[in-house]
């Protein structure tokens, strides 16, 4: 299904690869101006080049979502370049070290929480201000099935549960400002993050895949499709929700 997002500006964090890259591509296909944000400059600029080669409009902003100054500059760049920040997908995240809780170091904990949870808060902090001033908007935060069940390392699970809490609070606080806030909860998706986990523990990944009733990994494109729908007018009465895109995992 096609959505007309012409004249909209979409910020996508963690957009240099995987789900973020495919989400940026889908927004560009729908006519949105896309602000590609990531910590890896070369890969992020490559995404912009690909979008522009396909006829899209895009800008790269090197962004560490755990850095308040970087996040503020990201949103300001979107507004200064395209005039608005109508859509935001807060997707940047890391898996961190999967170890028993009592064996984690402070660095293990802080790094994951800073990017996965504080980063989402910082992004929404600045995105919401612009959306309220502009008369509305739509935000989608990337959580995980680990935001719904204990599937993963302690900091990762805690951060993804936290993302859902932030999503619900923001949705209720800003509904009257015509800002919708939702989250997607991907299952096992064929991304670099999952491939790294598979290299470390192939049996565990295969077990998770088989627990998804569809019996396969999802694709980044399938997550991107859900995200774009949530940001479109087709989902105009949808806010405060967590959407599993997980091959049926959460139905078990």
Sorted by where each starts, the structural domains of the chain and their CATH numbers stand as: 9-190+220-245 (3.40.50.720)
Residue 224: partners with Cβ closer than 8 Å, 6 or more residues away: 19, 22, 23, 25, 26
Q: What digits encode the pLDDT tens for the residues 95-105?
A: 999 899 999 99
When the pLDDT of each residue in the chain is averaged and rounded to a whole number, the result is 96
Q: What digits encode the pLDDT tens for the residues 154-176?
A: 999 999 999 999 999 999 999 99
CA distance 161 to 163: 5
CA distance 213 to 62: 38
pLDDT category of residue 249 using cuts at 50, 70 and 90: very high
Annotated active-site residue 156? The verdict is yes
The mean per-residue pLDDT over the stretch 178-200 comes to: 88
Angle between helices 106-113 and 154-174 (to 10 degrees): 30
C-beta separation of 203 from 244 below 8 A: no
Torsion angle (degrees, nearest 10) of CA 236, 238, 161, 166: 60
Length of the chain in residues, anyone?
A: 252
pLDDT category of residue 212 using cuts at 50, 70 and 90: very high
204 has a pLDDT exceeding 80: no
C-beta separation of 195 from 188 below 8 A: no
- Residue 30 tokens read as 């729908």
Q: For the chain, what percent of residues have pLDDT higher than 70?
A: 99
- Identify the active-site residue in 82, 156, 174, 249: 156
pLDDT category of residue 130 using cuts at 50, 70 and 90: very high
Nearest to 156 by CA among 196, 206, 202: 196
Interior/surface letters 86-104, b for 16+ CB within 10 angstroms, e for the rest: bbbbbbbbbbbbbeeeeeb
Continuous segment of H or E residues that includes residue 237: none
Looking at residue 199, what is its pLDDT?
A: 75
Residue 181: partners with Cβ closer than 8 Å, 6 or more residues away: 124, 138, 139, 140, 141, 167, 170, 171, 174, 239, 240
Sign of CA dihedral 166, 168, 172, 177: positive
């Amino acid at each position: 299904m096609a959505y007309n997002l012409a004249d909209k500006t979409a910020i996508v964090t963690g957009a240099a690869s995987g789900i973020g890259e495919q989400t940026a591509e889908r927004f560009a296909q729908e006519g949105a101006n896309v602000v590609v944000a990531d910590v890896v400059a070369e890969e992020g600029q490559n995404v912009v080049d690909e979008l522009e080669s396909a006829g899209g409009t895009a800008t790269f902003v090197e962004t560490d979502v755990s850095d308040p100054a970087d996040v503020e500059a990201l949103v300001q760049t979107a507004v200064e370049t395209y005039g608005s920040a109508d859509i935001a997908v807060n997707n940047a995240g890391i898996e961190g070290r999967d170890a028993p809780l009592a064996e984690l170091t402070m660095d293990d904990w802080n790094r994951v929480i800073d990017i996965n949870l504080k980063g989402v808060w910082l992004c929404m902090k600045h995105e919401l201000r612009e959306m309220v001033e502009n008369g509305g908007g739509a935000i989608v935060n990337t959580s995980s099935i680990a935001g719904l069940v204990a599937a993963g390392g302690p900091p990762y699970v805690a951060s993804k549960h936290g993302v859902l809490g932030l999503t619900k609070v923001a949705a209720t606080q800003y509904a009257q400002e015509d800002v919708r806030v939702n989250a997607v909860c991907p299952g096992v998706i064929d991304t670099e993050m999952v491939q790294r986990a598979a290299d470390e523990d192939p049996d565990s990944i295969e077990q998770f895949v088989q627990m998804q009733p569809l019996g396969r990994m999802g694709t980044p494109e399938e997550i991107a499709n859900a995200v774009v729908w949530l940001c479109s007018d087709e989902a105009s009465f949808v806010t405060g929700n967590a959407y599993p895109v997980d091959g049926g995992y959460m139905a078990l």
